[in-house]
Chains A and B, each alone.
Chain A
Amino acid sequence: MKFAVVVFPGSNCDHDAYDATTRVLGQQAELIWHKDTDLRGADVVILPGGFAHGDYLRTGAIARFSPIMQRIAAFADGGGPVLGICNGFQVMLEAGLLPGAMLRNDSLQFRCQQVHLRVEQTDTPFTLACGEGQILEMPIAHGEGNYYAEPDVIARLEANRQVIFRYVTATGDVNADANPNGSINNIAGICNQARNVVGLMPHPDRACEVAIGSADGLVMFESVVKAVIEGAFATTR
């Protein structure tokens, strides 16, 4: 099966996602330039981290206009699995693929550190191989990861079980100490209503080998391989 890793000008974790899915996971992947309009038969789309268009104006605000985004919206509408990591998540919010917005971290500083996430829901293509409540360790690296949405949107996300990852302590507690950026309800990642589009601020792509700190992110890529092979999230592409 094949991953498409979208490259915006200013993407800088495209390589991280490409390397994780090919060298580590052993699957095919192709870098897709943002001006392209074809996903080249990919089964899964990844919007990688970085600083698309320098994050100028607002994170992800310019990238949403890239030609490839229309194609990705259609792919997502058809049920195709789409994962947004870090800046990719920010692009998804700007593009309306997921609800909410990102504020600056409450520390007002960029933060690069390991965090712990609790898997809140396993019925998405990117978490189906996880155990419910499983705790994953992976890094964050962002200056604007403070997830915000209007109270009614947050209530709806919670009610629909669309909060997929929460920042927790190593022992699984949800509290302020575990929250690296001030996100509401310690939200680290969410999905859309159809559950095939997932965005998160932490980097599973940088947590696929123990040698670089953690291999806990691998399960997310293994999940989507399983999802595609089993047709668990059949697409209408």
Chain B
Amino acid sequence: MTITQEVLDRHGLTRDEYQHILEMLGREPTLTELGIFSVMWSEHCSYKSSRVHLKTLPTTGRRVLQGPGENAGAVDIGDGLAAVFKIESHNHPSFIEPYQGAATGVGGIIRDIFTMGARPIALLDSLRFGSLDNPLVRRTMAGVVRGIAGYGNSIGIPTVGGEIAFDESYTGNPLVNVFCLGIAKADEIIKGTASGAGNPVYYVGAKTGRDGIHGATMASAEFDDRSAEKRPAVQVGDPFMEKLLLEACLEVMKTDALVGIQDMGAAGLTCSTCEMGSRGGAGVEIDVAFVPQRETGMTPYEIMLSESQERMLLVVKKGREAEVEQIFDKWDLHAVRIGQVTTDGRMRVKHHGEVVADIPNPALTDEAPLYRRPMAEPEYLKSAQALSLAELGQPESATVAFTRLIASPTIASKRWVYRQYDHMVRTNTLVAPGMGAGVVRVKGTRRALALSTDCNARFVYLDPFLGAQHAVAEAARNVACAGGQPIGATNCLNFGNPQRPEIMWQFARAVEGMGAACRALDIPITGGNVSLYNETDRNGVLPTPVLGVVGLIEDADSVVRRAFRHAGDVVILLGESRAELGGSEYLKVVHRLVRGVPPALDLDREKALQKLLVEGAAAGLIRSAHDCSEGGLAVTVAECCFDTGLGVEVGTPGTNADEMWRDVMTLFGESASRVVVSVEPRYASEFLHRAADAGVPAMDIGRVGGDRIRMSVDGRVVLDVALAEIERLWSSAIGNYFERSRAVA
């Protein structure tokens, strides 16, 4: 066939890239080969725009057992065990078909984890949606939540946390980032490697259909009003099949009959075949005629590019085939031999014995295109960073602003969402969703893991470098609040079209900031995912580099929760409140502005604060701890009261701002590196001393108790509201959007 410009366009390949293919092959590619190149060289699989930047991230450390490059990263958590974890996006499919898009996002990341020989024990979701006033957004969100629930609940892995934020920029492009963590024996981590000439290659799991063909290419293009026509490129999930695969694969892995294993995710059989060969320095030869097929008449092109879910590729030690087949049979799965490992370093695909693709592995992996795309500081930046309070007129009254913030969907209770998720299965969940970091214990040890995903995308929009640092600091602070020492991280970088220089600039600056913060806080990034082209009709999402942090808690009994526990406990504010309102939820909700510079961040101070929290928790000095983020001190203090029936009375000096804005700045400013802790009165002075020794500013600001939230600034009571009333607003806000829409329908 002739490869015309139109054929190249349909495959998302440029003329230059095609020239490169011709040189590498020394001939014209077959259509199957062209399809293989198109998916492997797509942004989604090749990271061609992002790789040069990602290389700058810190990925090593004394606990790191597996860095980037495998199916997931792994860190040593003691007791001979490893935490295996990664976060991945499923943004584009979730917009086109919310339920299946989100469900298969969950399924995909779970496969990445058990592929490494780890038993998955926790899921978190980092979600972004447009405004809930928009019925399309409500429909998308309801579908995404149902999809996550439908998959995670069925397969039996608890969803223990995550976060959800709302901004109009996500209206036509929601973000669905799913984090999964599993536990493996540290010395039994399994790799996605093919080696040993003659070793058989097995296919197991669901049959291959025509679903998801060119999913990876779709995830590498912008959306427009015809995107709904791409629905056939979204896959359909089967959590039951994946549950069988999970159990069967873990059983096979116990036998040592396995050389390597990889799931078929993006780019399906193509990606798993060439990546396994590439990692093992070997070749893989398969005959697609042996691949179990759901539909008749499928071409090699379709079989190689299908993204049907719940499929795995295994390389088994020669002579051990029967053992492996028997285990899969037990689980009613049929493992089929489709090829073998070769020595020539090539990916060779046959169809009934006839060669239809024959490509050197490096051409698809290491030697895939790499772009150093042009960058330019975005034009919006200067004006967006300029915040003039005078232009805003009068600040809103503290009480009105507070009640609006508490009911703002980004701050309001997410119970409507997480009560649809099984967050308790496997009976490890020590801290359930909605209460800061999720915490799961590690059975068979005294330890527990605190998990948090975070990113304040407004901060990143206003200053990508600083904003990404905030994402790292906040995620790490959240696990430290629970008593967890941050030991590893995974990132999910959601940005717009990298071919626009201003987007590439945001990306590069954010990666730099993330790297700098991770180095300063000593948190290696062991892997992750990049999602570009998050745009609809050229409107990009807020740049959203989500960071998922894993924190190690040495003694599960010393876990600290966010809620106040006893009337009379001393409330202590750690960190310094400054006159900082830039990028705040207050500005967004009350003045409808995303403006200003994000709060300053001193990473040395942040590190000292986190150390104090971890040591204070281990010493049993801290009754509760909660990080100050969106909504500032007032919202943080209120959140400590929710679900406890305990009110609070606190007072602080005003931040140094002009008189008119002092109360609002003090209550709702989002200065970084601050945490509200409560301490038993008898330990208060010891804790304050420890803070002083650690160089962490600490102030006794009040007492837990009563049935009101009362806050004063410079001795004046500026907020005095009934806890029950505020809690009702907070807990019903999100549900109300959906109840109302149901009533109208």
Contacts and interface: CB of A to CB of B under 8 A. Distances in A.
Interface of A: 9-10, 12-13, 15-16, 19-20, 23, 33, 49-51, 53-56, 109-113, 139, 141, 143, 203, 205-206, 208-209, 211-213
Given A51-B239, A110-B149, A112-B420, A12 B443 contact: no
A15 B419 contact: no
A113 B423 CA distance: 9
Interface stretch (B62-70, B150-158, B528-536, B572-580): B150-158
A110 B332 CA distance: 28
B441 A211 contact: yes
Contacts of B443: 19, 23
B427 A9 contact: no
Contact of B424 (A23, A56, A139): A139
Given A13-B156, A13-B425, A112-B421, A51 B430 contact: no
A206 B427 contact: yes
Contact of A10 (B146, B149, B154): B154
A54 B154 contact: yes
B426 interface: yes
Contacts of A139: 424
Nearest to B440: A212
Given A12-B155, A19-B443, A112-B420, A205 B425 contact: no
Nearest to B426: A15
B236 to A, nearest CB: 13
A206 to B, nearest CB: 5
The size bracket of the interface on B is: 20 to 34
14 contacts: A9-B240, A10-B243, A10-B244, A15-B427, A16-B426, A19-B427, A20-B427, A50-B156, A54-B238, A56-B240, A112-B419, A112-B422, A141-B422, A141-B424
B430 A212 contact: yes
Contacts of A12: 154-156, 243, 425
Given A208-B427, A211-B441, 12 more contacts: A23-B443, A50-B156, A51-B154, A51-B156, A51-B243, A55-B154, A109-B149, A110-B150, A112-B418, A113-B419, A211-B557, A212-B429
Given A111-B420, A212-B429, A53 B156 contact: no
Listed from nearest, the 3 A-B pairs whose CB atoms lie closest are A12-B156, A54-B240, A141-B422
A113 B429 CA distance: 13
A112 B154 CA distance: 13
Nearest to B154: A51
Interface of B: 146, 149-150, 153-156, 238-241, 243-244, 330-332, 418-430, 432, 441, 443, 556-557
Nearest to B444: A23
Contacts of B239: 51, 54
A14 B243 CA distance: 13
B425 A16 contact: yes
A16 B149 CA distance: 19
Contacts of A51: 153-154, 156, 239-240, 243
B243 A9 contact: yes
Contact of B556 (A53, A203, A206, A211): A211
A15 B556 CA distance: 20
A213 B154 contact: no
Contacts of B238: 54
A204 to B, nearest CB: 11
A209 B146 CA distance: 29
A212 B428 contact: yes
Contacts of A55: 154, 240
A64 B110 CA distance: 29
A60 to B, nearest CB: 14
Nearest to B443: A19
A56 B244 CA distance: 14
Nearest to B333: A9
A205 B427 contact: yes
A55 to B, nearest CB: 7
B416 to A, nearest CB: 9
Contacts of B155: 12
Contacts of A49: 425
B96 to A, nearest CB: 23
A53 B240 contact: yes
A45 to B, nearest CB: 20
A54 B241 CA distance: 8
Nearest to A56: B240
Given A12-B243, A212-B429, A109 B154 contact: no
Contact of B153 (A19, A141, A203): A141
Contacts of A211: 430, 441, 556-557
B86 to A, nearest CB: 22
Contacts of B557: 211
B427 A212 contact: yes
Chain A CB within 10 Å, residue with most, of B423, B424, B427, B557 = B427
A33 B239 CA distance: 20
Contacts of A113: 419
A107 to B, nearest CB: 9
Nearest to A16: B427
B206 to A, nearest CB: 12
B425 A141 contact: yes
Contacts of A212: 424, 427-430
Contacts of A203: 424
B424 A110 contact: no
A9 B333 CA distance: 11
Contacts of A13: 156, 425
A56 B443 CA distance: 31
A62 to B, nearest CB: 10
A49 B154 CA distance: 10
B441 A109 contact: no
A111 B332 CA distance: 30
Contact of A213 (B332, B422, B424): B424
Nearest to A209: B427
B422 A110 contact: yes
Nearest to A53: B240
Nearest to A212: B427
Contacts of B556: 211
Contacts of B426: 15-16
Nearest to A7: B247
A49 B422 CA distance: 12
Contacts of A141: 153, 422, 424-425
A18 to B, nearest CB: 10
B153 A110 contact: yes
A51 B155 CA distance: 8
Contacts of B425: 12-13, 16, 49, 141, 206
Contacts of B146: 109
A55 B151 CA distance: 12
Given A13-B156, A51-B154, A110 B240 contact: no
Question: Which residue, B153, B239, B428, has most C-beta atoms of chain A within 10 A?
Answer: B153
A144 B432 CA distance: 22
A143 B239 CA distance: 15
Contact of B240 (A10, A19, A111): A10
Nearest to B238: A54
Contact of A9 (B331, B420, B424, B428): B331
A156 B595 CA distance: 67
B422 A9 contact: no
A215 B330 CA distance: 36
B28 to A, nearest CB: 46
Contacts of B243: 9-10, 12, 51, 54
A234 to B, nearest CB: 32
A112 to B, nearest CB: 5
A74 B5 CA distance: 71
A153 to B, nearest CB: 29
Interface centre among A23, A111, A211, A213 (most CB of B within 10 A): A211
B424 A112 contact: yes
B106 to A, nearest CB: 14
- Select the residue from A20, A143, A203, A208 with max chain B CB neighbours within 10 A: A143
